[in-house]
A and B are shown apart, each in its own frame.
Chain A
Amino acid sequence: DGGITQSPKYLFRKEGQNVTLSCEQNLNHDAMYWYRQDPGQGLRLIYYSQIVNDFQKGDIAEGYSVSREKKESFPLTVTSAQKNPTAFYLCASSIEIGTGKEQYFGPGTRLTVT
């Protein structure tokens, strides 16, 4: 069963703690993305990666960090520097980058920081 998995579905953390969100894909896609979604709003791009060991900042990268050590995995760390981390986080992948391709999304992780 191919697809993108994100875990956990719900995550709770105390303010001041870093937290890492998992994203794994078995679609053999080169490109992977992280988005943030706030209630009643669209998706905002945090980071994206075109290939292993390479990633670029999106529109709202401050307070976040990523790594891409394996093709299948693109974890996102929400650091204590992120001023408003509570949100719904979506990971996506696409077969390639640069030509405009369909992105497949995972089920999302809802992060609540108190």
Chain B
Amino acid sequence: GESVGLHLPTLSVQEGDNSIINCAYSNSASDYFIWYKQESGKGPQFIIDIRSNMDKRQGQRVTVLLNKTVKHLSLQIAATQPGDSAVYFCADFGSDTGRRALTFGSGTRLQVQP
């Protein structure tokens, strides 16, 4: 994921609407991508992951889309609920480098309005 500075971008949606959270990554050789949800004061929780040989993967109410051509990842949340309010992080892993750990983006704050 790429750093976008000190201030988290915020996405505000109405309850019941669909949410789309976007993420850009920089390593063209990244082959594994993952989305995490982090509630205030807690550790991140796994949402969904995808490998580079796929362009779409669906979970329960969530879909991840991967566009390797433009190095872009998105998380779609269907029928957003107040409990979805949190900060969402994307992360990627590239086996081409000596770095053997995920690289995290700076996150997007999702606010769900009742």
Binding site for B on A (CB under 8 A): 4, 31, 33, 35, 40-45, 48, 50, 56, 58, 90, 92, 97-108, 110
Closest to A9 in B: B41
Contact A48:B42 (CB < 8 A) given known A41-B106, A102-B34: no
The reply to whether B41 and A40 contact each other, CB–CB distance below 8 Å, is no
Binding site for A on B (CB under 8 A): 1, 3, 6-8, 31-32, 34, 36, 41-46, 49, 51, 89, 93, 95, 100-107
Closest to A40 in B: B8
Partner of A42, one of B7, B95, B106: B106
Contacts of B6 in A (CB 8 A): 40-41
Contacts of B101 in A (CB 8 A): 33, 45, 48, 58, 97
Contact A90:B44 (CB < 8 A) given known A40-B7, A42-B89, A99-B95: yes
The reply to whether B44 and A100 contact each other, CB–CB distance below 8 Å, is no
Docked CA distance A48–B101 (Å): 8
Contacts of A106 in B (CB 8 A): 43
Contacts of B42 in A (CB 8 A): 107-108
Contact A42:B104 (CB < 8 A) given known A99-B95, A100-B31, A100-B95: yes
Contacts of A104 in B (CB 8 A): 46
The reply to whether A105 and B100 contact each other, CB–CB distance below 8 Å, is no
Docked CA distance A40–B3 (Å): 11
Contacts of B105 in A (CB 8 A): 42
Docked CA distance A41–B41 (Å): 13
Docked CA distance A50–B98 (Å): 12
A53 → chain B, closest Cβ, in Å? 16
